[in-house]
Structure 1
Amino acid sequence: MKGKIVKWNDSKGYGFISALNSELRVFVHISSFRSVSQRPKLNDQVTFEVTKDKQGRINATDVRFDGIDKLPVTVLFGTTFLVFVCASVVVLNGQWIFVPLYFSLSLFTYLMYAWDKQAAQTGGWRTSENVLHMLSLIGGWPGALLAQNQLRHKSQKQPFKSILWVTIFLNIGLFSLTFSISGHELILYLLGNMR
């Protein structure tokens, strides 16, 4: 069935879809969306299935945005950077150590976001925002951007988002310095001392 979102409460994660020339109004929860690549907003055109809950109310399930679901710019940005890190080893004579470092830090940061979201929902021990920012600063920011998009955690809160972007640009700046002669020599020196 086709319809459009006519009411959406993003903080609570639910709203209503209007279908059949506004004759049908269907409840929809964020968990019913197939794609996690974008948040619903008013007037989004969607395709969905209809089911009834235990109380007999009509709910939307298997909701998809009409058209092609696009990767959000933030996830595309993080993915492009990881590809650049891999390519830099071959093309720019970069250090191979950055490839597993960025990927492992991104995975670890993603898992920390997932753990923090679960703790927020269950009232458990939370991860400090400073820890999440430090993980992003040292190279886990692609995982942070993916977690914000997929898990919808820390994706709306300010000033958290602004500080995250500061850590991202600082990390990219530091990574760029490794291509300078002095930065390259410093990395070789540090790798030599680790042996």
Structure 2
Amino acid sequence: MAATPTLTGQLTRWEDDRGFGFITPLDGGADVFLHISAVPRTAARPQQGDLLNYSIERAEDGKRRATRVELVRTTSTAARPPRAPSSRPRAAGVLTALASAAVFFAALLVQTEWWSLPQWVAVWYLATSILCFIVYSVDKSAAVAGRWRTPESTLLGLGLIAGWPGALVAQQVLRHKLRKSSYMSAFAGTVVANLAVLVLVATPLGERALCVIADCG
């Protein structure tokens, strides 16, 4: 897709935790969608009120969005750090997520062998994790293109019903939702709740705890 000549506008709306906003052209006209992926990784992270140089392209759905974005250097933007961290922390995050998911599934296999945990439980976790990763991917793509987003309640619900290992990997691989602290706190709560239920129903420790609660003698 060919981009139009460079334009200048002001970033009049910016949702930093979601990585997108809208540019108001200085010469008038409709606001233009901006996603953080259009900003060079070596540039400072955008902030509301910034002046930007940009071009316009049309996405496959026909919507206009900014591309080839350059922040106009001012005192306020010059002191900001580049928007992207080094690749090492990102790689570390991906490896940590993969390792955490692998350890969890290994623990499920141990429970299947030692404590007679039904095999369908491990299959359910795996299938739901794959589904969760796909839904995160679709939501990330929608965020980039400015399309309809998957509700956060759906993402959290998938994690709660056993898809959290896939969500954990998706968050790191896709760099999605990590900057939204309120969402990540809620996600952590779903992981804890899911693991608590698993421990209660699938381990000897949980069985004893339930027995004490139910006073089964």
SS at 2:119 equivalent? coil
Give the Cα–Cα distance (whole angstroms) in 2 for the partners of residues 121 and 154 of structure 1: 13
Task: Please list every run of at least 4 consecutive aligned residues from structure 1 whose deviation after the TM superposition is greater than 6 angstroms.
Answer: none
- TM-score w.r.t. the length of structure 1 is 0.59
**Counterpart residue number, 2:126:** 103
Closer, same or farther in 2 for the Cα pair 1:183/1:118, shift >3 Å? farther
Which runs of structure 2 are paired with 1:74-113 in the superposition (5 Å)?
A: 74-113=97-136
TM-aligned CA distance change 1:105 to 1:183, over 3 Å: farther
Match of 1:15 among 42, 48, 67: 42
Matches within 5 A, 1:71-150: 71-150=94-173
- RMSD, aligned α-carbons: 3.1
- Deviation, structure 1 residue 104: 0.3
| Contact 1:120–1:126 under 8 Å retained in 2 | yes
In structure 2, list runs of 5 or more residues that go unmatched: 1-18, 20-35, 44-82, 211-217
Question: What secondary structure is seen at the aligned counterpart in 1 of 2:42?
Answer: strand
Aligned equivalents of 1:127, 1:40: Cα separation in 2: 25
CA distance in 2, matches of 1:183, 1:110: 33
Look up the SS of the partner of 1:155 in the other structure.
coil
> How many residues in Structure 1 have an aligned counterpart in Structure 2?
132
Contact preservation (8 Å) 1:75, 1:149: no
Unaligned runs of 5+ in 1: 1-10, 17-38, 45-63, 185-195
Cα 1:86–1:40, aligned 2, differ >3 Å: closer, same or farther?
Answer: farther
Structure 1 residue 174 corresponds to structure 2 residue 197: yes
Q: Distance in 2 between matches of 1:40 and 1:123?
A: 21
Shift, 1:105, TM fit: 0.3
**Correspondence list, 1:178-189, <5 A:** 178=201, 179=203, 180-181=206-207
Matched to 1:133, the amino acid is L
CA distance in structure 2 between the aligned counterparts of 1:166 and 1:141, rounded to whole angstroms: 11
Residue pair 2:156, 2:187 contacting (<8 A) in 1 also: yes
Distance 1:116 1:183, change over 3 A: farther
